[in-house]
Structure 1
Amino acid sequence: MIRLLIILVLVFGTAVLAPRFISETDFVQFVVGNHTVELSIISFISLSIILIFAFFALEWLIRKLYRIFTGTSSWFGGRASKKAEQALEQGLIAYLLQDWKQANNAFNKTEALTHSQLVRNLYAANVALKLGELAQAQDYLATSEEQTNHSKQSDPVKLYQAQMQFELHQYQRALDTITDYLEKNKKDPAALRLKLHCLMALKEYASIQPALKKAEKYNAFTSEELINFKQQYYLAMFSKSANEQGLAAAKQQWQDIPKADKKETALLGAWLMVLAKQHEDQEVEALMLEQLKHNNIEGLIQIATDLPKVSTPTLCKELQKRLQKSPDNRHLMILLGLVACLNEDFELARKALQPHQAQLSLAAQHRLAEALAQTNDLNGAVAIYQQTQAVKSLPSQVPAN
């Protein structure tokens, strides 16, 4: 651009000053050894402009020849670059369509790209991961990390890199990356969620509570996501304490959690799961009877579906008494069947659950299948298992009946 401006100034200056110089009789004289060259001023200026253009042309030709002979360019370089750009476009479209094999083939043809390498490597790493090519995914990710260090756009891609590291089970690296990202993006919901999942994977339970409070403050989770995460967190924390320090330590942790959390059915279920695994049957039954007094029937159904085998005879009798008063209460009948499974009274479980099979969750249907198998109805048990497996294989967009 600067060269072009200089040329334009010379051209327009010549056009303006030419009339004056033409009327003058002055000459420019060059003496080289015994040779003398005389030029008029207008001829000298015209020759200077021609020489400048000649110099630029010679410079371009030298650069072109240098690139050809040093192998830094080729006659087909432009064509290769264009093909690489088309492959990148095809790969991105295949990625959006979740056609991982086609996307992987396309990304492998984009090595000739001189730009967008960071984006290409991030997408290629994710595609390789989807195809189970872990080594290839790690190579792409490592390359993208090197490129990020020299990129002005490092912050926007750090979150994606941390997600990829997490999916490749590089939990500590993912935590370091996301912690660095959060220094400048303290309120980013996705980053706060990912940090919590990294801490969970690393079993750093002591660091989860403050991070969880921050995530709740900035609405990083939906209400359902928050309950699910807390359930996993409390279950893992209580189980670790009970196994390593004894049940008393786990009970103290249960007492220390917020009262609002204790009222959540899923979180209570996590605590009952720990008690059941520690064979604290009486305490499990006492807490379930308390929920029954508060008529939390649907909550108890959810809890009983997930609990391991536990002896709760008093609860079973109490449910039977209630059913004598309300024999058409479907939820009470389902709860009785699930509790009977916990007590290994499979005949009672079959009679209570089988009439309401259509209303059972997948997990509750597995309980029914267990009861059928234990009462020698193997065909009925196999039919239920096949049906539940078929429902699980349905796409997520199709609701399970």
Structure 2
Amino acid sequence: MMRLLLLVLLLALAMWFGPLVLAQPGYVRIVVAGYTLEMTLVGLLSCLLLVMLLSWLVLRLLRFVWLLPSRSWRFWQWRRRQKAEQAFQQGLRAFARQQWQDAAALLQQSLQHHQHQQEKQMLAGYAAFYAGQKQQAEQLVQALPESDANTWFVKADLLIQQGRAAEAAQLLQPRMEQQSTACGLGQLYLYSLQQAEQWQSLLEQVPTALKQRWFSKSQWAVQRYQIYPKAISSLVQQGQFSEQADYWQQLPGKERKSVAAAIGRAWAKANQGQTEQAERLLVNTLALADVELAWPYLRQIPLGNSVLQLRKQVQHWLRDHAANGYLYAVLSWLAAQEGELEQARLAWKKALQYQPELATFGSP
């Protein structure tokens, strides 16, 4: 509304002053250095307006020319970023499809732009490693910042995948002393010790893992079985296990009394020919809820003919849990220990009927 009023006002002024100016245009005389310039007032105003317009156009042109290099540079930077982002996206897709050669090349190309540089280097390092370009992978990993925990994780992980778990454990040890709260590094550290078969060092790290909560409660329930059975049995075979040792006594009582630890001790006793003691230990500690997690390690214990008590216990559980395939798997294992191969075969068939995933372990 205000604009309309202003427009009407301007039109009214033009209608009023227009005839007056045309009737009496007036004139302006300018004398400079012997030169005389005469023109009407309207002509002078028109010239001034034209000069101002030309000056503005010249300034715009000069500004455009002045900023042209920077604009060109920004354009090429934008093009470079676009190509890098496109290569990163395509590299991620190739990485997901496990097309390592393509992923390594594309992720290497994506490094031309600094955005997400560290993540790109990590993925490019893994892709190059899986593609067999170990020298390039090492260069990419070495370029990662030393202060980042992810750098140590990638270095150790690649060492483990090359079968150099002991070097990975040695690499992570000082880092874990400085940054024991890093859950990802802690988990990898325990895994490296396990792969390197450094069982005593592994047991020594358990209190730190529990205190710093490297694993959730459900994860640790599974992790126990990946640590204690093999660690205890191996230390016993090496003559280095003692329940009075510092590395054992420093464990929480719940850990020392766990079913996973009992399976490790039973495994060791059975390998030493103490099959009756091994069976008694299993009967006293093994519970129905533990059978599923314990099965991969339980089936490796050579009990021989000392299976009567354990078999009775499993048969008792089956009365109320007839659809539990893991119980039939245990019965199959116990029958095989006594040489009753037909009974073992029938029990294993029953186990696969209820728990088909047991086929991944193979028959006892």
Q: TM-score when scaled to structure 1?
A: 0.56
Letter of the structure 2 residue corresponding to residue 266 of structure 1: A
Identify the match of residue 337 of structure 1 among 317, 328, 332.
Answer: 332
Contact 2:267 2:302 in 1 (8 A): no
* CA apart distance, 1:88: 2.7
Residue 349, structure 1, aligned to residue 344, structure 2: yes
* CA apart distance, 1:140: 2.3
Q: Any stretches of 5+ residues in structure 1 without a counterpart?
A: 1-52, 61-72, 371-401
Alpha-carbon spacing, 1:328–1:363, altered in 2? closer, same or farther (3 Å): same
Equivalent position of 2:43 in the other structure: none
CA distance in 2, matches of 1:176, 1:324: 48
CA distance in 1, matches of 2:285, 2:341: 24
Letter of the structure 1 residue corresponding to residue 90 of structure 2: Q
CA distance in 2, matches of 1:119, 1:297: 45
Q: How does 1:106-125 map to 2 (within 5 A)?
A: 106-110=106-110, 113=113, 118-125=118-125
CA deviation string 1:113-132 (max 9, x = no partner): 57765443321111234xx3
CA distance in 1, matches of 2:309, 2:199: 39
Equivalent position of 2:259 in the other structure: 265
CA distance in 1, matches of 2:108, 2:92: 12
Contact 1:285 1:312 in 2 (8 A): no
CA deviation string 1:182-201 (max 9, x = no partner): 56644222222222223333
Once the two structures are overlaid, the 10-residue window that deviates more, 281-290 or 324-333, is 324-333
Residue 92, structure 1, aligned to residue 92, structure 2: yes
Contact 1:275 1:281 in 2 (8 A): yes
CA distance in 1, matches of 2:124, 2:96: 13
Residue 212, structure 1, aligned to residue 210, structure 2: no
Q: Secondary structure at the match of 1:348?
A: helix
* Bigger radius of gyration among the two: 2
Letter of the structure 1 residue corresponding to residue 154 of structure 2: Q
* CA apart distance, 1:180: 5.5
Contact 1:91 1:106 in 2 (8 A): yes
CA distance in 1, matches of 2:220, 2:143: 35
Once the two structures are overlaid, the 10-residue window that deviates more, 190-199 or 329-338, is 329-338
Equivalent position of 1:283 in the other structure: 277
Contact 1:227 1:267 in 2 (8 A): no
Residue 165, structure 1, aligned to residue 158, structure 2: yes
Q: How does 1:151-190 map to 2 (within 5 A)?
A: 154-155=147-148, 157-169=150-162, 170-171=164-165, 174-175=168-169, 178-179=172-173, 181-182=175-176, 185-190=179-184
* CA apart distance, 1:96: 5.7
Q: Figure out how many residues of one structure are paired with residues of the other and give that number.
A: 291
CA distance in 2, matches of 1:320, 1:176: 47
CA distance in 1, matches of 2:155, 2:313: 55
Q: TM-score when scaled to structure 2?
A: 0.60
Once the two structures are overlaid, the 10-residue window that deviates more, 264-273 or 321-330, is 321-330
Letter of the structure 2 residue corresponding to residue 123 of structure 1: L
CA distance in 1, matches of 2:271, 2:356: 23
Letter of the structure 2 residue corresponding to residue 125 of structure 1: G
CA distance in 1, matches of 2:310, 2:193: 42
Alpha-carbon spacing, 1:312–1:105, altered in 2? closer, same or farther (3 Å): same
The alignment-based identity, stated in percent, is 18
Once the two structures are overlaid, the 10-residue window that deviates more, 85-94 or 300-309, is 300-309
Contact 1:288 1:300 in 2 (8 A): no
* CA apart distance, 1:221: 0.4
* CA apart distance, 1:98: 5.8
Identify the match of residue 139 of structure 1 among 133, 136, 140.
Answer: 136
Q: How does 1:24-103 map to 2 (within 5 A)?
A: 83-95=83-95, 100=100, 102-103=102-103
Q: Any stretches of 5+ residues in structure 2 without a counterpart?
A: 1-61
Q: Secondary structure at the match of 2:145?
A: helix
CA deviation string 1:34-89 (max 9, x = no partner): xxxxxxxxxxxxxxxxxxx9xxx8xx9xxxxxxxxxxxx9xx99866753443134
Contact 2:263 2:298 in 1 (8 A): no
Residue 306, structure 1, aligned to residue 304, structure 2: no
Alignment RMSD (CA, Å):
4.6
Alpha-carbon spacing, 1:119–1:234, altered in 2? closer, same or farther (3 Å): same
Contact 1:94 1:100 in 2 (8 A): yes
CA deviation string 1:246-305 (max 9, x = no partner): 7xx45666974543224432332222223233332122122233347xxx3454574585
Contact 1:158 1:177 in 2 (8 A): no
CA deviation string 1:222-264 (max 9, x = no partner): 2243244333333343233333327xx4566697454322443
Equivalent position of 2:145 in the other structure: 148
CA distance in 1, matches of 2:86, 2:264: 52
CA distance in 1, matches of 2:284, 2:263: 13
Q: Secondary structure at the match of 2:148?
A: helix
Equivalent position of 1:70 in the other structure: none
Alpha-carbon spacing, 1:115–1:244, altered in 2? closer, same or farther (3 Å): same
Identify the match of residue 353 of structure 2 among 354, 358, 365.
Answer: 358
CA distance in 2, matches of 1:87, 1:107: 6
